[in-house]
Amino acid sequence: MNIYLLAHSGVALETDDRVLVFDPWQDPENHLKRLARTEKPLYFFVTHAHGDHFAPRYGKEYGERAARFVLENDCRDAAYPAAKTDYVGAGDTLTLDDMTIRVYGSTDAGASYHVSWPELSVFHAGDLNWWHWTGDTDAANRDMRALFFRELAPAVEHGADIVFFPVDDRQGPAQEWGVIEYLQKQTPARLLVPIHRNGAPWQPSLYFSWRFADVAVWTGLTDGDVRKGV
């Protein structure tokens, strides 16, 4: 199994029998082109319509090759073939081949996805995170805290082997808060891949490293990095 960092929150997960692509925005190393040349079915997921998560050109470029597109409701675009596209929102559950796709909410825009099949389960948070900002008012940060825990509660009902979750350097000391709460409340993950990077690659704090000593963490160094043999 291989994991490809595309850019920002975009990732591709390649297993022995399928490829899952989440929030493709840019692909500086052309990983998707190479993956499309395999015989594995390609499944695309988009969490929301922000320009750094959603690029309609992929609907046109991979419309024939993709097995299915799963897009959050705000991402409607004619570039995606209607016969191959499902539009979903928080609270929806979709069965796709042997996969169960559970759609959860966000604390910014759109949705987050839990995708499972007999061999593996994956969670991609999109912009679901505890977005605490030191420059915001106390009232705004209290509202965000309440929203985060409200949206988090259903999202941890099903554990995930592989977790893609925001860890944003701009949040300073608060950058780990969201992922800590997620990992504390779900079945121990096998691998965490931080997404939504803005700044230097995340170096987990001493507390995080010991609190989740059994969870492997792969940060990658640059867009386009690959972790093989997960």
Give the pLDDT of residue 165: 98
Give the pLDDT of residue 46: 97
pTM for this predicted structure: 0.96
Listed in order, strand segments (DSSP E) in the chain are 2-5, 11-14, 19-22, 42-46, 68-72, 85-88, 93-96, 99-104, 112-117, 120-124, 162-166, 191-195, 216-217, 226-227
Taking the CA atoms of residue 80, residue 119, residue 111 and residue 143 in that order, the dihedral angle to the nearest 10 degrees is: -170
Supply the DSSP string of 80-130, one letter for each residue: S-GGGEEEE-TT-EEEETTEEEEEE--SSSS-EEEEEETTEEEEE-TT-S-
Please tell me the distance from the alpha carbon of residue 201 to that of residue 183, in angstroms, as a whole number: 20
Architecture in CATH of 2-227? 4-Layer Sandwich (3.60)
Please tell me the distance from the alpha carbon of residue 59 to that of residue 76, in angstroms, as a whole number: 11
Give the pLDDT of residue 78: 85
Query: Taking Cα atoms as reference points, which of 81, 88, 101, 100 lies closest to residue 47?
Result: 88
Check residue 186 and report its DSSP letter: S
* SS3 (DSSP) at 25: coil
Would you tell me the crossing angle of helices 138-155 and 177-184 to the nearest 10 degrees?
A: 30
Measured in degrees and rounded to the nearest 5, phi and psi for residue 59 equal -65, -40
The two tokens of residue 165 are 């979750």
Give the pLDDT of residue 163: 98
Judge residue 30's burial from the number of C-beta atoms within 10 Å of its C-beta, 0-12 exposed, 13-18 middle, 19 or more buried: exposed
Give the pLDDT of residue 119: 96
Give the pLDDT of residue 188: 79
Give the pLDDT of residue 186: 85
Cβ–Cβ < 8 Å for 191, 218: yes
Mean pLDDT by 10-residue block, N- to C-terminus, for the chain (230 residues)? Answer: 95 98 95 96 95 89 96 92 96 97 96 98 98 96 98 96 97 96 90 92 95 95 90
